[in-house]
Amino acid sequence: MRMISTLTTAAALSLALAYPVSAKAALRDVPEIDDNMLWVAMAIEISDKCDDIKPRTLRGLLFLNRLKDRAKAMGYSEEEITAYVKSKDEKARMRERGEAYMKSKGLDPADIGDLCTLGHAEIANSSQIGVLLKAK
């Protein structure tokens, strides 16, 4: 009986080595999550810096909860999600993405006026950023 158990363990180990389990992608590499987090981050930045634009807080919280639920449905744990959201490296990367987005629109990310211009344009276009904001 012990020999069968050893053979079974050896066979399982051989199979595991031959067919490695694929690891989940980092949340930063899941566009469905990461891109939507960019829109949330940009909406927060706009509402924090533009006096004439305010956040749609309840809508934003509902949107974030749906993103979290989606990540969980994809197999990510609460700990993985929290680590992604709180990571200083991810926040810095998200800032770079936001700046690149502004530049792609011909705007200067260092200019608060341009940030507010973007906010009003996003609201007018009902983009994902825009639906998280409203003009005062």
Q: What is the pLDDT of residues 6-65, one digit of tens each?
A: 445 555 445 445 444 447 899 999 999 999 999 999 999 999 999 999 999 999 999 999
Residue 81 lies in a domain: yes
From 8-17, 45-54, 89-98, 117-126, the region with the lowest mean pLDDT: 8-17
Contacts of residue 15, defined as CB under 8 A and 6 or more positions apart, other chains included, come to none
Helices (H) and strands (E) in the chain, counts: 7, 2
Predicted pLDDT of residue 117: 98
The pTM assigned to this predicted structure is 0.81
Q: 98: which 2 tokens?
A: 């936001």
Residue 109 lies in a domain: yes
pLDDT at residue 86 is higher than 60:
yes
Looking at the 3D structure of the chain, how many domains does it have? Answer: 1
Strands 133-135 and 53-55: antiparallel
CA distance 76 to 73: 7
Residue 4 lies in a domain: no
Q: Locate the DSSP E strands across the chain.
A: 53-55, 133-135
Range of the domain at 118: 25-135
Residue 80 lies in a domain: yes
Residue 68 lies in a domain: yes
Q: How far is CA 62 from the centre of its chain?
A: 15
Predicted pLDDT of residue 99: 97
Residue 15 lies in a domain: no
**Amino acid occupying residue 34:** D
Higher local confidence (pLDDT), 74 or 9: 74
Nearest residue to 113 (alpha-carbon basis) of 60, 53, 44, 63 = 53
